[in-house]
Amino acid sequence: EVQLLESGGGLVQPGGSLRLSCAASGFTYSSHAMSWVRQAPGKGLEWVSAISGSADSTQYADSVKGRFNISRDNSRDTLFLQMNSLRAEDTAIYYCAREWGYSYSFDYWGQGILVTVSS
Amino acid sequence: QSALTQPASVSGSPGQSITISCTGSSSNVGSYNLVSWYQQYPGKAPKLMIHEVSKRPSGVSNRFSGSKSGNTASLTISGLQAEDEADYYCCSYGGFRRVFGGGTRLTVL
């Protein structure tokens, strides 16, 4: 059974940093690109970042480029999102999601982790 | 503002059919057959319903279908059921990025 479990969320002050993790199991992790998708309270979904299975390619939404860094450890089947210079508008539930083949669709999602940026 | 435009809400009665539109541009929907649709219940993670414009993952009801014409993709739900009441999001590949629509709240009357 495919499982994705996020951790590392919480309350952080504006300008601060936070590192999210997503532990994957139940599939060949290195064979799949992975993404982070966020959802601000009461708002829609926003794609944040993606990384290829081999970690040789990364992509970012304009809203986080230069502040967030996506990475993965294929030896530990874990995805990371390093978030720096956090702003109030980064407050959201952050989901990690598995990308399905070359379809650029997300076939499995974690349960989500809340990040709150507030003083 | 969302890169893809969806109606904020649609509604229908049980047994009817509804269609949700998703309008993008030649940079995303119009250039790639890589549109997907997601169903989300309150407080839950999204669920993939359609990928690559019109393909249904295993386990998704055949009442859900997708299509595309030009820069607009559509999700059609036939034989509406109470359990279909949820938020629906489209998503498209846009060249080194993925973009979501703003979401559509489906109400089953």
* B52, B97 contact by CB (below 8 A): no
Who among B2, B46, B99 is closest to A109 (CB)? B46
Euclidean distance between CA atoms A64 and A49, whole angstroms: 8
Q: What is the pLDDT of residues A80-96, one digit of tens each?
A: 999 999 999 999 999 99
pLDDT in tens, chain B (109 residues): 458 999 999 999 999 999 999 999 999 999 999 999 999 999 999 999 999 999 999 999 999 999 999 999 999 999 999 999 999 999 999 988 999 999 999 999 9
* A67, A83 contact by CB (below 8 A): yes
Interchain contact, A109 vs B97, CB within 8 Å:
no
The per-residue DSSP string of A42-97 comes to TS-EEEEEEE-TTSS-EEE-TTTTTTEEEEEETTTTEEEEEE-S--GGG-EEEEEE
Interchain contact, A106 vs B46, CB within 8 Å:
yes
Confirm or reject contact between A111 and chain B (CB < 8 A): yes
Residue A56's contacts (CB-CB under 8 Å, 6 or more residues apart) are none
